Copies of this chain bind each other. A is one copy, B any other.
């Protein structure tokens, strides 16, 4: 159930850029603060730019700037675009559903669906701002009950 380095590093970079909202930050500096090599960051930042999270400025004093507001950057979304679906299994994925021959009578699918829903619930409610302020989304018990299969 791992998150890959790309997802982790992307979030690290977004945190650095979020702390410097409005300011241009060079790859070099992001590299120092995230402990990710410049070369590898290039790949990741470029992808985040193409996805609309960042803007770039070339030349001397160039770098990257956060485009959106930190409260509008959803962690679940970032992880999905960088790593694919949150679901542990294709059969339970909403964004990339994959059929399975056993599905009609599968006793595991409800479990995978529950896991997916739970992960999605946590990550989709968390924004970059929440992380910057060390404030994780408070999950109301009743909300949680709402989407759970209990029969």
User: A139: nearest residue on chain B (CB-CB)?
Assistant: B148
In angstroms, Cα B38 to Cα A75, docked, is 41
Taking a contact as CB atoms under 8 Å apart, the answer to whether A136 and B112 are in contact is: no
Q: How many residues of A contact B (CB 8 A)?
A: 46
Contact with B along A138-150 (1 / 0, CB 8 A): 1111101100111
One of B15, B102, B148 near A136 (C-beta < 8 A): B148
B141 touches A140 (CB 8 A): yes
Distance between Cα atoms of A119 and B116 in the complex (Å) = 9
Task: Pick 20 A–B contacts, CB within 8 A, sort by A.
Answer: A1-B1, A1-B2, A1-B85, A1-B86, A2-B89, A3-B89, A8-B89, A11-B108, A15-B107, A35-B102, A75-B111, A110-B131, A110-B136, A111-B126, A118-B119, A119-B119, A136-B150, A138-B148, A139-B145, A141-B144
